[in-house]
Structure 1
Amino acid sequence: MKIAIISVSNKGLELALTLKEKLDKDSTVIKCDLFHKNVKKYIKIAFFEYDAIIAIMASGILIRSVAPYIESKVSDPAVLNIDDNGNFVISTLSGHLGGANALADKIADLIDATPVITTSTDVNRKLGIDVLAKDLYLSIDDTKEILYFNKAILENEKITFTLNPEKDYVYLKDYLSKNTLEIHVSFNYSSNVNTDEIHVELDKHKIVLKEKKLVAGLGCKRGKKCSDIYNGLKKSINYLNIDISRINMLSSAEIKKDEKGMIDLSKKLSIPINFVELDKLKLFESRDIQKSEFVKSKFGIYGVCEPSALITAGFDSKLIYKKTSYNGVTIAIACEK
């Protein structure tokens, strides 16, 4: 997640600096930039270039500033509002698909504040279908149906998940078993459902959830064992609160194509691995990747795990877990748009 923190007062700026210091340590925060004063100018920039806006200011200023740009729960960024004293963190816009509710909980925990969340499913301790899709990195084919299904969930109606019988969907069942919010689900199986889809049905209403490609980019020192790489990957996906079965592909640079630990990991997990050509890595440009001058001097490329993951995930993909080191192993995770 790319986060913009916008403050107005000097006290707000102090809080922003404290918050940035904490967020920079979070592997799911790809970048965190600070903006001070000139709210209308910076809100316009942040609304279209960042995944989330944290506004440390009066709610009236924030609402008037974002109002001209609001379009849809599908595309609007998460917007949070915090008072200067850091007492309350209010999820203001895009609570579910934008991730504002989850981010409000995280920020409140970091600064010892009270999160304020008003969406019906959350306050009634129910799991919204859009929250499930967000958490499991699934696209929704018809977002207009979200309201119908969430209303049904609020009224304790049972919805049906239709799955392909040839796939075990461990990540879905693991998520549902661990989730503390209520949702009544029955499972149906049909070979007419693609293995990368989950069909959600109630009465004559239907939503198709489709897996976005998740790619784990791998880097490591020469000779690292499969178990070492696996442990790093497991820690990364645990931080994202997903089962390892949700990863669709592994990726690294072609200079690692004879790295036994990576090849063994691919076999162990039954997840294909893609070794990206050096020419593609040399040409790849992204403002979000961490550049290593050491890797550049040795191999002519600025990085391995982040660019490999992004290239393999496809055009316009984004990092959801930045390069993180685990005892000689580096892991990054990219998600298809």
Structure 2
Amino acid sequence: MSNKGIAILSLTKQGVETAVKIKNVLEKKELNCTIFAPRKYAQEEITPLDKELREFIGEIFDKVYAIVAVMATGIIVRIMAPYLKSKISDPAIVGVDDFGRFVISLLSGHYGGANELTRLIAYEIGAIPVITTASDIMGKKSVEELARYLHCDIKNPESLVAVNSAIVNEEKLVMVLTGNIKAPMGKIWDFEIKMTERSEQAIGIVNDFDAGIIITKEKIPQNELKKPATILKPRKITIGIGARKDVSENEVIEALNFALMQAKIPLERVDCLATIDIKKDSLSIINATKRLGLQLELVSTNTIRSFKHPDLSPDSRLVEQKIGVGGVCERAALITAGEKARLILKKTKIKGVTIAIAEGG
């Protein structure tokens, strides 16, 4: 899930009690949450809501990952309606009744993550999840969910209805990877995987199926597509790493696999490993990188030292005393991820190995 934060809104005394339960369970999952409620219900962990709800929703709509509205769904639906733009950019909206009996995915269920958040909240507070998207009801995955899983941006959202319809109706589906783009091979959900060098070939492949997905960094001439196809652009995924001198190659690989599992990222989507230049002779990191078929990028000590980013964890005094910088893995990951980089896994320590994962635009 995104690290932009979750706003939990409530208007009643009972709703505030439910909101506090939700905040507690989400924070255990390391999700950043803030409860907003009328001042008369304010407690130590609640931020007073001192303006009209409609005005407040307008202020936060583009600034949060999700809004959890503990109130009647009619209220939140009417209030948020003027602010809706696109299923690609709108935050996840989840409704919860005051007593916490039902959790309802209202908006941005797939790409925005509302369905996932709904299931999480419902499971943790003992409520009934209400999810109405057709693919979920039939036990299938949508294009938006696949884009999230593979960390891709959707370039032509107008295609989603047709391609998702093909998924639900169990039509013949293909996913085409162009150039050097990698993904888990065989089948991903209901999609047959094909690889090609050029976008022109990708179009020909899709036209031989009922519908498809093209993952590419190139521009696709969509007018040549005869079948419904969603075009995905992969984001850059980088892993920053640091390791003690006594750590083995196998321990590095085990740590990397654990981190990828935690972040729910397939190894095939990783673009590179990155570390500080003083680790250039670390055989455990070098050999692990080779075994995994990845590239290793070295970032200069000066670049690491001067790098600033809002996602960074506090500096480590121990690391600074040893190598002269406050931290390595988060900085290396963010620097190599490039433009619009953000951390999707903050610094994680695993048996002498520190790992962070970033994605760039």
| TM-score of the two chains, using structure 1 as the length reference | 0.84
Q: 1:286 aligns with which of 309, 314, 324?
A: 309
Aligned to 1:171: 184
Q: 2:198 aligned with 1:192, yes or no? A: yes
Residue 218 (structure 1) aligned with residue 241 (structure 2):
yes
Deviation at 1:330, TM superposition (A): 2.2
**Where does the alignment leave 5 or more consecutive residues of structure 1 unmatched?**
177-182
SS at match of 1:126: coil
Residue pair 2:176, 2:202 contacting (<8 A) in 1 also: no
- 1:125 counterpart (136, 139, 142): 139
In the alignment, is residue 24 of structure 1 matched against residue 37 of structure 2? no
2:269 matched to 1:269?
no
Secondary structure (helix, strand or coil) at the match of 2:136 reads helix
Taking the aligned partners of 1:304 and 1:285, their CA distance within structure 2 comes to 12
Q: Which residue of 2 aligns with 1:7?
A: 9
- The answer as to whether partners of 1:70 and 1:76 remain within 8 angstroms in 2 is yes
**Letter paired with 1:294:** R
Alignment correspondent of 1:96: 110
Cα deviation, residue 72, structure 1: 0.6
Q: Deviations over 1:96-127 (max 9, x none)?
A: 11111122112222222221111122122222
2:321 aligned with 1:318: no
Shift of 1:147: 1.0
Aligned to 1:180: none
* 2: CA distance, partners of 1:35 / 1:196: 48
Q: CA deviation at 1:313?
A: 0.8
Change (3 A) 1:325 1:40: farther
**Equivalent residues of 2:69, 2:94 under 8 A apart:** yes
8 A contact 1:6–1:35 mirrored in 2: yes
Distance 1:172 1:54, change over 3 A: farther
Q: Residue 333 of structure 1: SS of its match in structure 2?
A: strand
Q: Deviations over 1:153-194 (max 9, x none)?
A: 222211223345987x55254643xxxxxx3x4444533249
The equivalent position to 2:329 in structure 1, one of 305, 321, 336, is 305
Work out whether 1:76 is the aligned partner of 2:97: no
> Partner amino acid for 2:61?
F
Instruction: Tell me the amino acid that sits aligned with residue 247 of structure 2.
Output: K
Once the two structures are TM-superposed, the CA of residue 310 in structure 1 deviates from its matched residue by: 1.5
Counterpart residue type for residue 35 of structure 1:
F
Amino acid across the alignment from 1:158: K
Q: Kindly tell me: are residues 166 and 321 of structure 1, through their superposed partners in 2, closer, same or farther at Cα, counting changes over 3 Å?
A: closer
* Corresponding letter in the other structure for 1:22: V
Matched residue, 2:218: none
1:146 CA displacement: 1.0
Rounded to whole Å, the distance in 2 between the matches of 1:295 and 1:64 is 53
Tell me the TM-score normalised to structure 2 length: 0.79
Moved more, 204-213 or 137-146: 204-213
Contact 1:74 1:143 in 2 (8 A): yes
How big is each residue's C-alpha offset from its partner over 1:20-42, in whole Å with a ceiling of 9 and x where there is no partner?
A: 44333436x4x334434424465
Q: 2:88, 2:154 within 8 Å by CA — same for their partners in 1?
A: no
| Paired residue type of 1:145 | S
Letter in 1 for 2:33: C
| Contact 1:166/1:195 (8 A) holds in 2 | no
State the 1:73 CA deviation. Answer: 0.7
Change (3 A) 1:289 1:154: same
Quote the offset at 1:296 in angstroms: 6.7
Q: 1:99-110 counterparts in 2 under 5 A?
A: 99-110=113-124
Gaps of 5+ in 2: 39-48, 212-225
Residue 267 of structure 1 aligns with an amino acid whose one-letter code is K
Task: Sort the Cα spacing of 1:226 and 1:305 in 2 relative to 1 into closer, same or farther, 3 A.
Answer: same
Distance 1:129 1:45 in 2: 30
- The code of the aligned residue for 2:171 comes to E
Q: Is the Cα contact below 8 Å between 1:318 and 1:335 reproduced in 2?
A: yes
Equivalence map 1:36-115=2 (5 Å): 36-37=37-38, 38=49, 39-40=53-54, 42-115=56-129
Report the more deviating stretch, 125-134 or 72-81: 125-134
> Rg larger in 1 or in 2?
2
Shift of 1:319: 1.8
Using the TM superposition, name which of 250-259 and 91-100 deviates more. 250-259
